[in-house]
Structure 1
Amino acid sequence: MHDLHEMTHPYTPGAQAGPDSLLLVWDAPNLDMGLGAILGGRPTAAYRPRFDAIGRWLIARAEETGTHIGERVEPEATVFTNIAAQGADVVRPWVEALRNVGFAVFAKPKSDEDSDVDKDMLAHITRRRDEGVLRGLVVASADGQNFMPMIESLVGDGVPVTVIGFHEHASWAVSNPDITFVDLEDIPGVFREPLPRINLDQLPEEGAWLQPFRPLSALLNSSRSHTQS
């Protein structure tokens, strides 16, 4: 089995194409929002995903993919994240821990809505596809609006696509027969404690609170963005 430190390709313009790969693109802002909605607040250490467990899962999937197509397939993983102003010191230990496990990190300053990493994730996937090395894609996100056109294109080309996330927030992937959906909590060892999830089909008699996915103030930023455009 491969070492976790062999998981990354350099995300550098002009770099030579690497080996055939199963590419994981991790949408950190989106998954953080989804996890916060499930927990009703910021996650504690017990509820932060363990990226070493995600890495081992990806390695196993890459080996399965290679066996299926009769070629050696390497796992490649990149976490895409925004860094808020004055937030570098808080995020730095997390970024260094990711890199130590074997994940590449693409970090971008968060200044406004247009500084999201959505386009950067799609650009990275496109680059690997254009290099001819993409043998499978794993998208860790619930953002179907951003990823679905790319996924449909890859599926049409015969590239298998897996979406990992939370089933509460990714019905577009769960219900799509062309996509393999894996709930993040079903990956062995990702969470130290079971998530306190609420199933609308099995609500407790006393009822349950479902927290908003984003603050109402986000509507003001969205309104300003539309006005400026």
Structure 2
Amino acid sequence: MTDFSRIESSYRQCTLIVDGPNIEQSVARCWDRKPTRNERIQWPALKRWLHDLAAQRSAAAYSCVFTNTPANPPPQLLGWVRALVQDGWHVFAKPKANNGDGDIDADMLAHLSAHPWTTVVVVSHDAQCFARPLTELAAQGTEVIAIGMTEWAGCLPNIDGITFIDIDDIPALFEQAPPRMKLTALPDNGDWFHPVGDGDISYAA
């Protein structure tokens, strides 16, 4: 187990926190179904982005994914965790309780305070969890970056002191990008949003 509180703090440190369940659910909502492998986040691309960011700041990088697991984890979940670890990710997995509670918010926030990070990057749309802690870190002089989909991120894109980056701006993050519904990126002459599935098409009996 990694004890981040014992990391040498004499040089700059950058950490990336991915709220796994939140991001996976948001991508699935865009597709209105379970996404295929090509439609999911490409984790090596996100890790490359972090390392490029850390290199620009002459900082060490720590990439972390937080997730929860059901009582009987399916084999593909173990395969996903194994692939992340082999690619250099730190993975925190927490079992869901019998009542369905396996919330990882407190664990992610504990990681934020486990070390005097110079740069914190959070990939999540959970403004209720992160808005205040990230604002407090920014006020203390920490560089704070949030990554997500603007339309799902609540107040996170509009908080002073937090740099918000839309997932579309992370190179190669998706092989096939999810369909988005962004009212903030409409052309001056407007645009159409088309129905999912058959829409209002009807067939005569």
1:195 & 1:50 partners in 2: Cα distance? 12
CA apart distance, 1:199: 2.9
Task: Name the structure 2 match of 1:55.
Answer: 47
Task: Name the structure 1 match of 2:140.
Answer: 157
Q: Does 1:188 align with 2:176?
A: no
Q: Which structure 1 residue ranges, 5 or more long, are not aligned?
A: 1-9, 67-72, 210-229
SS of 2:18 mapped into structure 1: strand
Q: 1:110 aligns with which of 92, 96, 101?
A: 96
Amino acid at match of 2:3: T
**Alpha-carbon contact 1:198-1:208 (below 8 Å) kept:** no
Q: Does 1:99 align with 2:99?
A: no
Task: Name the structure 2 match of 1:17.
Answer: 7
Q: Which structure 2 residue ranges, 5 or more long, are not aligned?
A: 197-205
Q: 1:204 aligns with which of 185, 192, 200?
A: 192
SS of 1:116 mapped into structure 2: coil
Amino acid at match of 2:133: M
Q: State, as a whole percentage, how many aligned pairs show the same letter.
A: 32
**Alpha-carbon contact 2:135-2:162 (below 8 Å) kept:** no
The answer to which structure has the higher helix fraction is 1
Task: Name the structure 2 match of 1:119.
Answer: 106
Amino acid at match of 1:44: T
Amino acid at match of 1:157: Q
CA apart distance, 1:113: 5.2
**Alpha-carbon contact 2:150-2:182 (below 8 Å) kept:** no
Amino acid at match of 1:106: F
Q: Scaled by the length of structure 2, what TM-score is found?
A: 0.84
**Alpha-carbon contact 1:166-1:183 (below 8 Å) kept:** yes
Per-residue displacement from partner, 1:24-79 (whole Å, max 9, x unpaired)? 0110011111111111111101111111111110011112223xxxxxx1010110
1:29 & 1:193 partners in 2: Cα distance? 20
CA apart distance, 1:160: 0.8
Per-residue displacement from partner, 1:105-158 (whole Å, max 9, x unpaired)? 0001012454211100001111113xxxx1110001011111112111111111
SS of 2:114 mapped into structure 1: helix
Q: Scaled by the length of structure 1, what TM-score is found?
A: 0.76
CA apart distance, 1:203: 4.9
**Alpha-carbon contact 1:162-1:179 (below 8 Å) kept:** yes
2:168 & 2:174 partners in 1: Cα distance? 7
CA apart distance, 1:177: 3.1
* Aligned positions, number: 188
Amino acid at match of 2:7: A
**Alpha-carbon contact 1:80-1:106 (below 8 Å) kept:** yes
Q: CA RMSD in A?
A: 1.9
